[in-house]
């Protein structure tokens, strides 16, 4: 690997030069089945013809104008996202971190409107919201915060999925919002307990807090719904952040608002030079069109259930196997020990996987998988895990 790049990643010993559908090829022409999708980014797989056509046509037409001017593709994308989510307005940036920074700023403005001098946001243990300074401070992982202190003030942390713990901090008059993930991804693929999001919604209404949902990893059909919060009926957040799967590889993030959060930003209160330019918005609008046209939302739910069931059956009885959990094509396999070594072992078998929270194998395959490709992922995962335990 290059000596000229800062060592911010532990990279696997492979360079990919081509992709098609759920497959990647390295410099030697070896084929790999991608069960990571660039961490939930390439939901439509690699080199999707509709996305490629949209990129090429837009690049030949208009790539960028400033947000000082109207951008038709941005308006079209915002309208479509609002229709799919029930939200009302959208701000476009470049990443999930940037979308969450916008959410945090909205919470503070909401607090200032209530004449609260030191507004606080309730965040969750084991959460992940990004690596910019405010998003890092909101994140519930001390290991990735270490060395970057002093962190931004104004966050109160409670256990994820524990409504009683959230109610216990409600007497703090400085709290203005709750920020949570419908499924904690980096925290080990942990779905919110049934009824939790509705309970949070009710408490936010009671306390005049903003309910802010981080859908950076769970959004855009990943979990078998357009957005993860839609697994619970009658729940609509005040603020929702998106990124990863929205652009299928082009950098785009979005912060959506509803109700009392819609009029907090005004001209000059927030911005992004590259955010929402014609190229990325056309790409994202095409992603939404393809997902809807090809019925990929329900397909994610069906294939995810199939993979999870096959892995659960295939690992049954193995000492060290704890459980399979997740939603849709966001699947976690919890083992009884640190499992980072499995990433390299799977790579040797032509399979890309990821390990999070130390001992959880995470699968985020593309939504366009065939049934046979889904079975192949499950079978290779079972084989890699069983072989690893047998060797240890």
Could you list the active site residues?
Answer: 128, 214, 244
Distances (CA, A) of 218 to 61, 228, 240, 274: 32, 6, 11, 24
Is 131 marked as a binding-site residue? yes
Say which residues have a Cβ less than 8 Å from residue 203's Cβ, sequence separation at least 6. Answer: 163, 166, 167, 170, 178, 209
Is 217 marked as a binding-site residue? yes
Is 273 marked as a binding-site residue? yes
Is 216 marked as a binding-site residue? yes
Tokens standing for residue 109: 């403005």
Contact predicate 204/261, CB 8 Å = no
Distances (CA, A) of 365 to 16, 42, 110: 17, 9, 38
Is 272 marked as a binding-site residue? yes
How many Å apart are CA 99 and CA 130, to the nearest integer? Answer: 9
Contact predicate 238/260, CB 8 Å = yes
How many Å apart are CA 68 and CA 364, to the nearest integer? Answer: 37
Report the binding-site residues for N(2)-acetyl-L-ornithine.
131, 272
Report the binding-site residues.
128, 131, 214-217, 272-273
Report the binding-site residues for pyridoxal 5'-phosphate.
128, 214-217, 273
């Amino acid at each position: 690997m290059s000596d000229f790049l800062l060592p911010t990643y532990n990279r696997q010993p492979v360079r990919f030069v081509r992709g098609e559908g759920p497959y990647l090829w390295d410099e030697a022409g070896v084929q790999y089945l991608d069960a990571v999708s660039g961490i939930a980014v390439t939901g439509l797989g690699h080199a999707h013809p509709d996305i490629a056509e949209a990129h090429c046509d837009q690049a030949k037409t208009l790539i960028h104008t400033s947000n000082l001017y109207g951008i038709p593709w941005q308006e079209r994308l915002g309208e479509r996202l609002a229709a799919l989510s029930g939200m009302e307005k959208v701000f476009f940036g470049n990443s999930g971190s940037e979308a969450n920074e916008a959410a945090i700023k909205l919470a503070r403005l909401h607090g200032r409107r209530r004449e609260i001098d030191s507004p606080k946001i309730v965040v969750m243990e084991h959460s992940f919201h990004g690596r910019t300074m405010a998003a890092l401070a909101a994140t519930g992982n001390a290991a990735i915060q270490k060395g970057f202190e002093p962190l931004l003030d104004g966050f109160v942390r409670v256990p994820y999925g524990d409504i009683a713990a959230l109610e216990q901090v409600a007497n703090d008059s400085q709290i203005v919002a709750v920020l949570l993930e419908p499924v904690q991804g980096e925290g080990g693929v942990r779905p919110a307990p049934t009824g939790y999001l509705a309970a949070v919604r009710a408490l936010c209404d009671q306390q005049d807090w903003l309910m802010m949902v981080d859908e950076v990893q769970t959004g855009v059909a990943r979990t078998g719904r357009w957005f993860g919060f839609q697994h619970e009926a009658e729940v609509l957040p005040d603020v929702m952040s998106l990124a990863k799967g929205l652009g299928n590889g082009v950098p785009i993030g979005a912060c959506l608002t509803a109700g009392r959060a819609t009029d907090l930003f005004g001209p000059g209160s927030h911005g992004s030079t590259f955010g929402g330019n014609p190229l990325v918005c056309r790409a994202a609008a095409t992603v939404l069109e393809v997902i809807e046209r090809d019925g990929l939302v329900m397909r994610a739910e069906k294939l995810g259930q199939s993979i999870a069931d096959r892995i659960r059956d295939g690992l049954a009885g193995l000492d060290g196997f704890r459980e399979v959990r997740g939603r849709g094509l966001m699947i976690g396999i919890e083992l009884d020990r640190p499992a980072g070594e499995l990433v390299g072992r799977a790579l040797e078998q032509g399979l890309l996987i990821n390990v999070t929270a130390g001992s959880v194998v995470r699968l985020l395959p593309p939504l366009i998988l065939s049934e046979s490709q889904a079975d192949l992922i499950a079978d290779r995962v079972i084989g890699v895990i069983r072989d690893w335990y047998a060797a240890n």
